[in-house]
Amino acid sequence: MSCYRKYAEVRKLNSEVLVCTYNHKGVDMVRNESNSAVDRPYPFWLYNSENNVAVVEGSFEDKISSNCVINAVDIYYRFMGVSKQLNQIRLYGDMASGGGLDWCIIGPFEGYPDRDNFDKVKEVFQFHKTYEAYFGNFTSQAKILLINPSPFGVHSPASWEYLGIFKMLKEEHLLFDVTGVLELEGVVERLDRYDAVILPGIRQIKNSHFLKALKNTTASVIATGMSFQNNEEELSEIFGVHLKDKLEKVRGGYLLTEPKAIFRSFEKRDLVYLDMEYYYMETEEGNLNYLPLVAPARYGPPERCYGHEITKQPSATVKEKNIYIPWQPGTLYYKHGFEDFKQILLLLIESVGMLNNPVRTDAPKQVELFFDQCGDRQYLLQLLNLSGFNGTTFFDPIPIHSIHVNFTEIKPKRIYNLTLEGKKELLDTKGVMVPVLEQYAAYLVEV
């Protein structure tokens, strides 16, 4: 029996029943999991809940997201939970991204052998219960659309490119929506809402309506990781690019951070290393070409390592407002973490005037920011402190003092700090000043 037939049969029995089958077809609710496993390779993916909720919220208008936060350290070790801080971060990530709260242990609470997480989990559920009216029906304020290249439940090398860019945007407090690559039909009519549409590692797009919309959208189209490699027509029309041969010997090569007028944060760093895949490209005459390739030289002891040649081959090109990068900045950032790759991508987007955001903040990059409309003339600002994570272990977050958040598109009339002790009105409505951010804070903004 197909998933759609099962759905119809259940609805015949009771039209009020919500259908969820861990599938995204023939259901009312899409259920994912934030879980851990002892054999899972690093780097540890910190934004698991946010990603799982975002791709559902951005792909379907008729489905709700319930991302299950799994307490266990692994399916083999069901009676020991991950750290209480990680449990709480994942639950706040669910709630702040617009999903429902969903937490799982194996067995009854009474007699469960690991009770260390219970109190922290209760805090999140109690907060959600107190302010339930503001959650679960967000209207996104994002100016950026990020396309997830992997179908639901599938991971591929393209996932690394996507995850790296996801991480970049989160760290820079840039609001963005996510849509799955198989659900592109649903965003065709709303592409012009965005300033930028980012396609990471998607080497072939088959949806003709989406391709036509990309050619005509007012948004900047940004492709990385050899996206459109198998869509030669769109590669030429949208980006003015023809991909040529693959650079077989990448290791030892560099990108020359020129022109400095664009890459101004690289005043004292002229070379950024290159790794993974890279393709030569031929660009149209009118394109703006950046980041000349510095060809790899001989490998060996220092006295024999010479011959780095600055070539005329660009490593990024801009056609009007559209940007093409024939290598993998997202993958390199996800795997290695050097901020240079993030700066290159964001400076390119800024150069075409499409790096806009409804909020400005001086919060550290370890603070995750959410901002959505949550009702009639009401907005919800949420901050999540991730500073307790050191790469493998979760500690209590470091309290962060005096965070400022200002709004670029709304003028607040009233602002309330939402706490477990109740709503506390702020006297200053020019923006939000958070005296001390512990783990999580939320502010209701009325206009």
Question: 305-342, pLDDT tens digit by residue?
Answer: 777 899 999 999 999 999 999 999 999 999 999 999 99
Per DSSP (E only), the strands in 60-214 are 64-70, 72-74, 77-81, 103-104, 139-140, 144-148, 176-180, 196-200
Are 362 and 404 in contact, with CB atoms under 8 Å apart? yes
Question: 191-237, pLDDT tens digit by residue?
Answer: 999 999 999 999 999 999 999 999 999 999 999 999 999 999 999 99
Q: What does the DSSP 8-state code read for residue 113?
A: S
DSSP strand pairing (440-446 vs 322-324)? unpaired
What's the rounded Cα separation, in Å, for the pair 345 and 341? 6
Whole-number pLDDT of residue 88: 98
pLDDT at 152 over 80: no
Tokens 């980041």 — which residue?
291
In this prediction, residues 71-85 reach a mean pLDDT of 96
pLDDT at 9 over 90: no
Whole-number pLDDT of residue 50: 97
Whole-number pLDDT of residue 154: 67
Question: 388-430, pLDDT tens digit by residue?
Answer: 999 999 999 999 999 999 999 999 999 999 999 999 999 999 9
Question: 338-355, pLDDT tens digit by residue?
Answer: 999 999 999 999 999 999
The three-state secondary structure class of 121 is helix
Assign 1 a pLDDT band (cuts: 50, 70, 90).
Answer: low
Question: 19-56, pLDDT tens digit by residue?
Answer: 988 888 889 999 999 999 999 999 999 999 999 999 99
Taking the model in full, what pTM does it have? 0.96
